């Protein structure tokens, strides 16, 4: 049997190689860079948004002294509470009470949760965040921007999980004893967690991580105000989180996550409201006829003021139709909005609808309906809406003058 000649293929291979090399002009021949790029697999679009915590600074504004000097009335639930779970970037659930705690001083972006993580809306948010953001802002007041779901909101959820993970003790601390719950029934508080010898103020730490500005829309914190300011200054200087100016790119694992792009507008709005709240609180010290909605005791005081002309201070919450009347609610406590009641034309004539998102002073005569105080517009009961106090020119009575 004759052995095959293995070398017979070489002339053919040489001819093919020569033809290939000859066909490669300098412009078309792959360079080292293009060969490297071609061999690198395409980055998969990011669909998860974890957060890596920035290391503590020195001194760290979120590291607070042990809360041994707190008075019993400052603590919600004493010293026996534990955390059930993190709901989102600014809300947790407690055990054994099952209560929700809204963390004061921060307002993280919204996030998809549970089954909605697999929704078409979330997929749209991830794949086309610019278009998603544009749709969320369509038709809204650009000076009063809304909240909506973002990748940064999911990162905030991740960050708070990491901050409280492994906590050996927690303390839930009230800021203002007159405002212990919000209009949704959630406890309003500072959350302190102990890890080893260190107590960490979780709210302040979230601001330091760059997941939220210092949120003053409902007033500055009476306790730890300076810590929030220092945390925000550090985050802005380091360009963390929401303060990172790089554009959103779902295919770049190092790019910032998609988030709101209008924080300067939000900060200006919140600061305006904080000034109004501070002004009203100062006036309240010398005015028995002024009632600050949201304060726990004001419902009782208003019920005792039946037939008196008073001024309430608050912001719009709800609007309902009932038996041909408009019930225009100012936010107070859960299921206890303070109502301004009148026909559609009477409510419209107050101008209050144009003040949505703002805090207003509203003057009228208290009537009681089913045990609850309200303003009922009528010929002898005018209602006057003031955007500022002392009243400005835009304030106008409705009822008596018509």
pLDDT per residue over 313-343, tens digit each? Answer: 999 998 999 989 999 999 999 999 999 999 9
Q: Tell me what pLDDT residue 8 has.
A: 43
Same domain? 252 vs 155: yes
Task: Note whether 183 and 308 are same-domain residues.
Answer: no
Q: Are residues 26 and 159 in the same domain?
A: no
What does the pLDDT look like over 205-253, one tens digit per residue?
999 999 999 999 999 999 999 999 999 999 999 999 999 988 887 777 6
Q: 124 lies in a domain?
A: yes
CATH code (residue 317): 2.40.50.140
129 φ, ψ to 5°?
Answer: -65, -40
Task: Check whether residue 69 and residue 35 sit in a common domain.
Answer: no
Give the per-residue pLDDT at 399: 46
pLDDT of res. 401: 35
Residue 13 pLDDT > 80: no
Mean pLDDT of 254-260: 86
Confidence class for position 392, pLDDT limits 50, 70, 90: low
Residues 245, 138 within the same domain: yes
- Model confidence over 278-307: pLDDT tens digits? 999 999 999 999 999 999 999 999 999 999
Please check whether residue 2 lies inside any domain of the structure.
no
pLDDT above 60 for 3: no
Q: Is the pLDDT of residue 15 over 90?
A: no
Q: Looking at residue 48, what is its pLDDT? A: 87
**Total structural domains within the chain:** 3
Is 205 in the same domain as 261?
Answer: yes
- 332-373 residue pLDDT tens: 999 999 999 999 999 999 999 999 889 999 999 999 999 999
């Amino acid at each position: 049997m004759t052995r095959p000649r293995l070398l017979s293929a070489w002339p053919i291979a040489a001819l093919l190689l020569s033809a290939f090399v000859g066909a490669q002009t300098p412009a078309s021949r792959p360079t080292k860079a293009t060969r490297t790029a071609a061999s690198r697999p395409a980055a998969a679009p990011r669909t998860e948004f974890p957060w890596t915590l920035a290391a503590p600074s020195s001194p760290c504004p979120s590291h607070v002294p042990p809360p041994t000097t707190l008075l019993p009335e400052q603590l919600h639930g004493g010293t026996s509470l534990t955390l059930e779970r993190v709901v989102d970037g600014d809300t947790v659930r407690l055990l054994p009470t099952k209560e929700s705690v809204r963390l004061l001083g921060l307002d993280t972006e919204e996030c998809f949760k549970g089954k909605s993580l697999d929704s078409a809306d979330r997929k749209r948010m991830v794949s086309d965040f610019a278009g998603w953001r544009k749709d969320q802002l369509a038709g809204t007041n650009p000076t009063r921007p809304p909240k909506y779901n973002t990748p940064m909101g999911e990162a905030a959820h991740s960050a708070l999980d990491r901050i409280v993970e492994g906590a050996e003790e927690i303390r839930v601390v009230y800021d203002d004893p007159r405002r212990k719950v919000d209009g949704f029934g959630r406890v309003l508080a500072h959350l302190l967690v102990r890890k080893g010898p260190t107590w960490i103020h979780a709210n302040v730490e979230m601001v330091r991580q760059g997941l939220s500005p210092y949120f003053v829309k409902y007033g500055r914190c009476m306790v730890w105000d300076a810590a929030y300011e220092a945390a925000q200054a550090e985050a802005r200087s380091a360009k963390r989180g929401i303060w990172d100016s790089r554009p959103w790119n779902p295919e770049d694992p190092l790019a910032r996550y998609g988030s709101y792009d209008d924080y300067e507008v939000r900060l200006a709005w919140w600061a305006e409201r904080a000034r109004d709240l501070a002004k009203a609180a100062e006036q309240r010290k010398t005015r028995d006829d002024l009632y600050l909605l949201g304060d726990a005791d004001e419902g009782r005081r208003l019920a005792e003021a039946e037939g008196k002309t008073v001024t309430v201070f608050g912001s719009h919450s709800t609007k309902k139709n009932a038996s041909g009347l408009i019930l225009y609610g100012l936010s107070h406590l859960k299921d206890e909005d303070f109502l301004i009641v009148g026909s559609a034309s009477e409510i419209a004539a107050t101008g209050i609808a144009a003040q949505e998102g703002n805090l207003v002073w509203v003057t009228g005569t208290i009537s009681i309906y089913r045990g609850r105080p309200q303003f009922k517009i009528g010929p002898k009961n005018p209602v006057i809406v003031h955007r500022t106090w002392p009243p400005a020119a835009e304030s106008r009575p409705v009822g008596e003058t018509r």
